Amino acid sequence: QSALTQPASVSGSPGQSITISCTGTSSDVGSYNLVSWYQQHPGKAPKLMIYGVTKRPSGVSNRFSGSKSGNTASLTISGLQAEDEGAYHCCSYVGGSTYVVFGGGTKLTVL
Amino acid sequence: QVQLQESGPGLVKPSETLSLTCTVSGGSISSYYWSWIRQPPGKGLEWIGFIYHSGSTNHNPSLKSRVTISIDTSKNQFSLKLSSVTAADTAVYYCARAEPRSDAFDIWGQGTMVTVSS
């Protein structure tokens, strides 16, 4: 099972919106509404930001939103803030013995 | 609130077995998938495997033959053993909790760096 494909890096200015894509296949992203997104600051553990493609855990800002079209899931961050800088990882349920697969991660720089 | 804490050696020799334990505090170890996930330096995340409170397990096929995950519900702990390690197994190892209906990892340990070197 190959990793999901994410852009290596994205950037944006404070107040702008950015979108990070996560491309899989019809066997993972395309088959299940079980995509999650994680934010990771340097030297820290990942933090769940989105689950079930579009759902936000309690305490996560509504500036973060998720969507999916076909085999590609997306994370959009609106009203960029300096604290949003870090790495973002997508993850999809695959099922069977593989269970889940992660993307390679995207580094977000707030200019 | 539920917290996870990894513990174990930070240095393992090639061909030996990596052993880590995750202690769950602030809640029960029941009703969730308890996973191990690793991140090589500068790279992405890789799911290693999980164990359910019943003891049923699932492992990444790419590692399956080297991975053993066990659980001790009396101690609220679960453990990872990875045999025949090489330098490619050098990574930060995280334990994490997943809710079976969402299959999302909602709680993570702080992570522990394990280096494979002689």
| Residues A56-71 pLDDT 10s | 999 999 999 999 999 9
Q: Write out the two tokens for B57.
A: 């397990």
Whether pLDDT at A1 is above 70: no
Lowest-confidence region among A13-17, A49-53, A75-79, A92-96: A92-96
Q: With cut-offs at 50, 70 and 90, classify the pLDDT of residue B31.
A: confident
Whether pLDDT at B32 is above 70: yes
**Residue B81: Cβ-neighbour burial (10 angstroms; 0-12, 13-18, 19+):** middle
Q: With cut-offs at 50, 70 and 90, classify the pLDDT of residue B64.
A: low
What distance in Å separates residue B43's CA from the closest CA in chain A?
A: 7
Mean pLDDT over the full length of chain B: 95
What distance in Å separates residue A16's CA from the closest CA in chain B?
A: 26
8 Å CB contact of A36 and B58: no
A104 closest CB neighbour out of B44, B58, B106: B44
Q: With cut-offs at 50, 70 and 90, classify the pLDDT of residue B84.
A: very high
Q: Which residues of A touch B47 (CB under 8 A)?
A: 99-102
Please state whether beta strands B11-12 and B112-116 pair in parallel, antiparallel, or not at all (unpaired).
parallel
Enumerate the β-bridge partners of residue A43.
none
3-state secondary structure of A3: coil
Which residue from B42, B18, B6, B1 is spatially nearest to B116, judged by alpha carbons?
A: B18
Mean pLDDT over the full length of chain A: 96
Amino acid at B97: R
Instruction: Check: CB of residue B61 under 8 Å from CB of residue B86.
Output: no
Block residue for tokens 């049923």: B56
